[in-house]
Amino acid sequence: MNRRPGRSVYASPVLVGAVAILVVVVAVFLAYNANNGLPFVPTYSFKATLPDAQELLPGNDVRVSGTRVGQVTDVTAQDEGGRPVAVVSMQVESSLKPLPRDTRILVRQRSNVGLKYLELQPGHSRATLPEGGTLPLANARAAVDLADVVNTFDPKTRAALRGTISGLGVGLAGRGEALNRSLEVLPATVADLRSVMRTLAARRTDLDGFVRGLDAAATVVAPRAEDLRAVLDRGATTFAALAAERGALGRSIELAAPTERAGARAFRVLAPLTATATALIRDATPGVRQLRVAGPTLAGALRASGPAVGRARAVLPSLDAVVARLRTLSRSRDTTGALQRLTDSVGVLTPLLTFVNPFQTKCNALALWARNVASLASEGTVQGTWFRFLNPSDPTQLLPRSTPSPDLHQITTPDVGQHGECESGNTPYLPGQHIGDAPGRQPDATDQTAPGTIPEMVARERR
């Protein structure tokens, strides 16, 4: 007897359609909740307090040693002791549970156009952070964005920097061969410099006494500063004459090395004479009052110095050549132009250094940026490092608007020490729109960096 073949499940259009709809619904549900984590996957949730969210947004990564371990779920503003702070909620992998209470928090730059991520640096404390706990504000570390570094320079400083770079370009143009020769002899120069440094560091040199003497001389000269300025102003004529002798000045510089070698040989020849003259002066001091008695001794000393003086004649031709070159240099018209350009370059560089100096000496901004940007060029995924261009995911700042975004925070020219504040790295997080200077007065310092900090941090992260 023949049995009727069973019906296949694929033969029912209704059943196939229902399965397809179910698969689509599950896929849409997973895609919609992707930014909040996959369902049924255990996570470890906690919060962290930051002085400034620095444009951190929900959905941004949470990373440990460059590896993504979770995401930011919420960013809110909160008042803590009269100071506004940002409270960041996050979910990370349950394998990190529990984190030590001394875990450090740092908002870092993921791209050059504003995308951020939150980095965790686990500590070594035995006390741990429970589920739903909050890392305190003391665990947050300051960071300096690339935008803060670029916005440091105001239009006047940019113009001064442009003039300095232009002057350096003119000064180095066409001198590549001379620069290469300078680099070639640099190792020998540094080797000779060691003996000079040892001489300066020797106790017999009394460098400390020399500096104290300079300080005393500067104290005496200070009341006559106006007169000295007048002397320097009149000296501009001399500098103009030197600038007019540019070609002769260059030739003189080229001859400086052989002149130095000739001088070194001359000093070696004169060393016995110098020693004899020193002994002569020392011995002659008590004999000045009794010159008649000391006469024979003085004559003997002069006879002893005769051979040394005769050998010193060998250096006279070299000295004649130096004097001749100096005479030619003083008559050249190019010398005046060179010195005038040098004076202009120093004048342009002065306001730049005056403005940029507190940027590093007070706020340590450049060192903090270099410390934080180091891992951006070394950490990442198979697609590349984090030092690439990505857009922030805030739609109110991506789409065209007639007015600025209501959540836009933008400091056009942050104060980095010029007026006693270090806004970069200390800017408080406030809800709403804030364009211009940061509200309130910020601290006058940021984190301090020290040699060895970055390698130690990298080694700790690798462990």
Would you state the structure tokens that stand for residue 258, as one six-digit string? Answer: 């052989």
For 82-138, write each residue's pLDDT tens digit.
888 999 999 898 888 889 999 999 888 887 667 888 999 998 888 998 988 888 988
For 48, the enclosing helix (H) or strand (E) is strand 43-50
Single out the residue of 178, 185, 176, 342 nearest to residue 260, CA to CA. 185
For 220-266, write each residue's pLDDT tens digit.
888 887 888 788 777 777 777 777 777 777 778 788 888 888 888 88
Q: Is residue 50 part of a domain?
A: yes
Q: Is residue 342 part of a domain?
A: no
For 20, the enclosing helix (H) or strand (E) is helix 13-32
For 405-425, write each residue's pLDDT tens digit.
777 777 777 777 777 788 777
DSSP state of 448: -
Angle at 97 between CA 92 and CA 99, to 5 degrees: 95
Residue 53 reports pLDDT greater than 80: yes
**Predicted pLDDT at 454:** 44
Q: Is residue 450 part of a domain?
A: no
Mean of the pLDDT values across residues 58-67? Answer: 88
Q: Is residue 77 part of a domain?
A: yes
Q: Helix, strand, or coil here: 288?
A: coil
> Domain containing 88: what range?
44-150
Q: Which of 77-81, 97-101, 160-164, 459-463 has the lowest mean pLDDT?
A: 459-463
Q: Is residue 134 part of a domain?
A: yes
- In sequence order, the β-bridge partners of residue 140 are 105
Q: Is residue 318 part of a domain?
A: no
120: exposed, middle or buried (C-beta count within 10 Å: 0-12, 13-18, 19+)?
Answer: buried
Would you state the structure tokens that stand for residue 53, as one six-digit string? Answer: 């969210």
**β pairing state of 61-64 and 380-381:** unpaired
**What is the count of structural domains for the chain?**
1
Compute the Cα dihedral for 255, 257, 258, 261 and give only its sign.
positive
CA gap 306, 299 in Å, rounded = 11
Q: Is residue 32 part of a domain?
A: no
Q: Is residue 49 part of a domain?
A: yes
CA gap 169, 163 in Å, rounded = 10
- Mean pLDDT of the chain, nearest integer: 77
CA gap 197, 215 in Å, rounded = 21
